[in-house]
Amino acid sequence: MAEVTIKKGDRLPKLSRQFLTDGVGTDLTGATVTFNMWNVATDTQVITDGTCTVVTAATGEVEYPWSATDATLNDGFYVASFTATFSGPRRLTAPNIGMITVQIVAQTASQWSYSGNPSARTLDKVRFLCGDTDSTNQQIADEEISFLLTEWNNDAYTSAAFACEAIAGKYSSKSDYSRSVGDLSISTQYGASAKTFLDRASRLRLTAMRAAPPSPNWDANGYPVSSEFSIGMGRNVGTGMMYIPPIQDFPE
């Protein structure tokens, strides 16, 4: 999970960080601080020496205000860091171990909600059964779940199974990748995620069958049966009626 998550197009909140040395805030008096960020999937730098504000120099607190250009970046995963340059020149990077992980989330008109109580409404029950209860890692929209509930007569288990298959389809359309920047490595497991949701869909269908097992139905109109017996009923073979051979006289 990314350390920082922001919706595509948003410029708030600002990205804040504190420079630390042995766990103690670093005095940044006289230093110039910049911000850099790289796209993990493409290995390209998307922000170079972005201008930062030193909020409290004595304790090393800084922030980066997202620019209008930053707001146009594609959704996906990024890694970033702050650099403080002192006279000399001397440099200090924050964090000094690893990188800041940033996820830009696609902008959609869809809604996502979860009350934390699956019994509160059927939509929440479907989301709970799917495992889509983390607001920072949203998988399927409220509108999509509502559609499935309408399609399947408000059956939460069947709707959840189809929702899991839809989520698996989204993951299946993406390619796995592994990238390293400095000491930090980021990899995606889209294929594994797709399999997880497909397996969950299968289990949900089995649960649905146990909760409401199919029962045999007799359609009297589909199988006509006559209670009248007569000579020549053999001619009715194939209509579903009982066959009784005609009575014959045998010589004594």
In this predicted model, what pLDDT tens digit does every residue of 35-44 receive, in sequence order?
A: 999 998 888 9
**Residue 76, by phi and psi: left (phi above 0), alpha (psi -120 to 50) or beta?**
left
The predicted structure's pLDDT at residue 172: 83
Mean pLDDT of 181-193: 66
Helical (H) or strand (E) element with 235:
none
- pLDDT tens string 9-39: 999 999 999 999 888 999 999 999 999 999 9
The predicted structure's pLDDT at residue 106: 77
Indicate if the pLDDT at residue 234 is higher than 70. no
- CATH classification number, 4-105, choose in 3.40.50.720, 3.40.50.10420, 3.50.50.60, 2.60.40.3350: 2.60.40.3350
- Checking DSSP bridges between strand 184-187 and strand 20-21, what pairing results, if any? unpaired
Please, where in the chain does CATH 1.10.287 lie? 122-211
Helix ranges (DSSP H) in the chain: 122-130, 142-151, 156-172, 190-211
Give CA–CA dist 199/227, Å, rounded: 52
Question: Which residue do the tokens 């911000």 mark?
Answer: 35
- pLDDT tens string 121-135: 899 999 999 999 988
- Could you tell me which residues come within 8 angstroms of residue 44 by beta carbon, excluding any fewer than 6 positions away? 38
Q: Which of 51-60, 183-192, 206-215, 243-252 has the weakest average pLDDT?
A: 243-252
Reply yes or no on domain 122-211 having CATH 1.20.950: no
Indicate if the pLDDT at residue 158 is higher than 90. yes
Please, where in the chain does CATH 2.60.40.3350 lie? 4-105
Question: Which residue do the tokens 């009248």 mark?
Answer: 228
95: three-class secondary structure by DSSP: coil
Strands of the chain (E only): list them. Answer: 4-7, 15-18, 20-21, 24-25, 32-39, 44-51, 53-56, 61-64, 76-86, 90-94, 100-105, 178-181, 184-187
Give CA–CA dist 136/244, Å, rounded: 73
Mean pLDDT of 122-149: 91
44: three-class secondary structure by DSSP: strand
Is residue 76 very low, low, confident or very high in pLDDT (cuts 50, 70, 90)?
confident
Proportion of the chain above pLDDT 70, given as a percent: 77
Give this prediction's pTM. 0.52
Give CA–CA dist 159/148, Å, rounded: 5
